């Protein structure tokens, strides 16, 4: 027989994948199911462009749910009333590492936290706090998009500048430029990684 404890049962679910893989759609689906189950839900997304506070989590197919747009993780704690049972957070890759203690706190308070974010940046490097969140998650869902070049499963987000793959040292975050990104499979994805590898090797040799 298992011992029953009275502690509230919080949990962390992480939905990750490339752009267009359906992360926002899946987050919205899970939040709407919680609402059907009469659970108090609240959604947040990162407010990258710093303009509106009341926003929507919107998928590329137009599905949406109302959300607070915030630029610091502290606001997530401040804006969550005690009666909230399920919290969804989109675009989590843009938050600082401070998101980790905040998520752990919400989970320890018995809340179900569902987060969605890009696992890799356009360079193919794990994005911000996502790797750590994957490690502490109870449940992980990794989604693929469809490669726009060959129709295979796409793991990568290709950034294009005037139709040409962006360079490794370009800025990681490019606000409001969705048209610069394509979903691509490993074979069709292209990044100029040689600079990075060369510099890394030079550094290793000089140690
Ligand atoms: P994400 O949050 O991962 O960027 P969304 O949930 O916003 O993805 O959008 C997923 C939707 O995007 C799909 O259901 C589909 O309608 C549309 N879509 C557009 N381009 C692609 C693609 N290359 N692969 C898969 N879905 C795509
Ligand atoms: Zn491809």
Strand order in the sheet with 64-70: 54-58, 64-70, 41-46, 86-90, 112-118, 11-17, 139-143
**Is residue 21 included in any domain, yes or no?**
yes
Structural domain span for residue 102 = 11-206
Q: Tell me if 30 is assigned to some domain.
A: yes
> Is 188 close to ligand 1, i.e. is its CB under 6 Å away?
no
Atom of ligand 1 nearest to the CA of 27: 6
Which listed ligand is nearest to 189 at the C-alpha? 2
For residues 123-131, average pLDDT: 96
Catalytic residue among 13, 25, 55, 91: 91
CATH number at residue 57: 3.40.50.300
Instruction: Give CA–CA dist 128/97, Å, rounded.
Output: 7
Q: For residues 30 and 87, what is the distance between their CA atoms, to the nearest angstrom?
A: 10
Which of 4-8, 48-52, 65-69 has the weakest average pLDDT? 48-52
Phi, psi of 10 (to 5 degrees): -85, 165
**Model pLDDT for residues 185-204, shown as the tens digit of each residue:** 999 999 887 666 766 677 77
Residue 1 lies in a domain: no
Each residue's pLDDT tens digit, 64-122: 899 999 999 999 999 999 999 999 999 999 999 999 999 999 999 999 999 999 999 99
Domain membership of residue 2 (yes or no) is no
The residue that leads in pLDDT, 122 or 176, is: 122
Q: How many CA atoms lie within 13 A of 21 on its CB side?
A: 24
**Residue 55 and residue 180 in contact, taking contact as beta carbons nearer than 8 Å:** no
How far is the C-alpha of 76 from the C-alpha of 4, rounded, in Å?
31
**Confidence class of residue 163 from pLDDT cuts 50, 70 and 90?**
confident
Largest CA distance in the chain: 64
Residue 153 among the catalytic residues:
no
Ligand 1, residue 21: give the atom nearest the CA. Answer: 3
Per-residue pLDDT at 135 exceeds 60: yes
Q: Taking 60 as the threshold, does the pLDDT of residue 6 lie above it?
A: yes
Q: How far is the CA of 36 from the centre of ligand 1 (A)?
A: 24
190 falls within a domain: yes
In this structure, is residue 116 part of a structural domain? Answer: yes
Q: Is 156 inside a domain boundary?
A: yes
CA distance 92 to 130: 7
Grade residue 55 by pLDDT with cuts at 50, 70 and 90. Answer: confident
Confidence category of residue 175, pLDDT binned at 50, 70, 90: low
59 lines ligand 1 (CB under 6 A): yes
Residue nearest to atom 15 of ligand 1 (CA): 61
CB 47 less than 6 A from any atom of ligand 1: no
* Neighbouring residues of 89: CB distance < 8 A, sequence distance ≥ 6: 43, 44, 45, 76, 95, 99, 113, 114, 115, 116
Number of domains present in the structure of the chain: 1
Task: Supply the mean pLDDT for the chain.
Answer: 90
Choose which residue among 145, 154, 155 to substitute to test ligand 1 binding: the one with the highest number of ligand atoms within 8 A of its C-beta: 145
Is residue 6 assigned to a domain?
no
144-155 average pLDDT score: 98
């Amino acid at each position: 027989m298992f011992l029953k404890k009275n502690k509230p049962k919080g949990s962390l679910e992480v939905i990750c994948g490339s752009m267009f893989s359906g992360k926002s759609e899946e987050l919205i689906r899970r939040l709407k199911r919680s609402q059907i189950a009469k659970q108090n839900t609240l959604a947040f997304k990162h407010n990258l462009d710093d303009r509106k506070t009341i926003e929507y989590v919107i998928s590329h197919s137009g599905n949406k749910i109302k959300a607070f747009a915030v630029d610091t993780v502290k606001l997530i704690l401040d804006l969550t009333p005690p009666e909230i049972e399920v919290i969804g957070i989109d675009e989590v890759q843009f938050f600082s590492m401070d998101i980790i203690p905040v998520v752990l706190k919400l989970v320890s308070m018995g809340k179900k936290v569902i987060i969605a974010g890009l696992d890799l940046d356009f360079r193919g490097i794990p994005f911000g706090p996502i790797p750590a969140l994957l490690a502490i998650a109870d449940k992980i869902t990794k989604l693929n998009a469809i490669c726009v070049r060959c129709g295979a499963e796409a793991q990568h987000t290709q950034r294009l500048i005037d139709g040409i793959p962006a360079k490794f040292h370009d800025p990681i975050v490019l606000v409001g430029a969705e048209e610069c990104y394509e979903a691509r499979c490993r074979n069709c994805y292209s990044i100029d990684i040689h600079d990075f590898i060369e510099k890394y090797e030079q550094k290793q040799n000089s140690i």
